[in-house]
Amino acid sequence: MSEALKLLIPPEDIRAAVRRLARELRKDYAGKNPVFVCVLKGAFMFFSDLMRAIRADFEVDFVQAASYQGKSRSPEVVIKKDVLSDINGRDVVIVDGIIDSGLTVQKLIGHLNAKGASSIRLCALLLREGGAKGLTVDYVGARIEKGFVVGYGMDYRERYSGLPGIYVIVSGE
């Protein structure tokens, strides 16, 4: 069955959000050398654009966590790929494409704290309204309502990640 997609955030609005977030991060981490940790796979396009826009001294790393099977949330978050950097005593910024319930980033925060990060902040292109209860998301590109989103790196069953905008799936399976 094919899904119908509705444009939620056009590419030009994404670019504006990336520039704004880069300015905030550049200001907050001036003179520091943070480790920016990309949450794979959904954040890879956002992360790439954000890192180019920051234009400052930083280190990058990657982590992969799984909490979805198709459009259904799994009850357990599994870390499939860990960071390689030594983050002990370092400032860490977790960069995610979307923070929904917050379960994935909560797991990552605990995991990175156990590795000795001196501070951990969250940066998300998208934050689901009413989601991430109990979490402070320090840098937010846009707030969205319910609906399964794809595009700009985020996929549904390995499809749609190459779309330049962000779309909501309005019908399908």
- Indicate which residues carry an active-site annotation: 100
Q: In what order do the strands lie in the sheet with 166-171?
A: 4-9, 166-171, 149-150
Neighbours of 138 (CB within 10 A): 16
List, in sequence order, every beta strand (DSSP E) within the chain. 4-9, 35-40, 59-69, 72-81, 91-99, 119-128, 139-144, 149-150, 166-171
- Which pairing describes strands 4-9 and 35-40: parallel, antiparallel, or unpaired? unpaired
Alpha helices in 8-102 (DSSP H): 11-28, 44-54
Q: Is the separation of the CB atoms in 94 and 112 below 8 Å?
A: yes
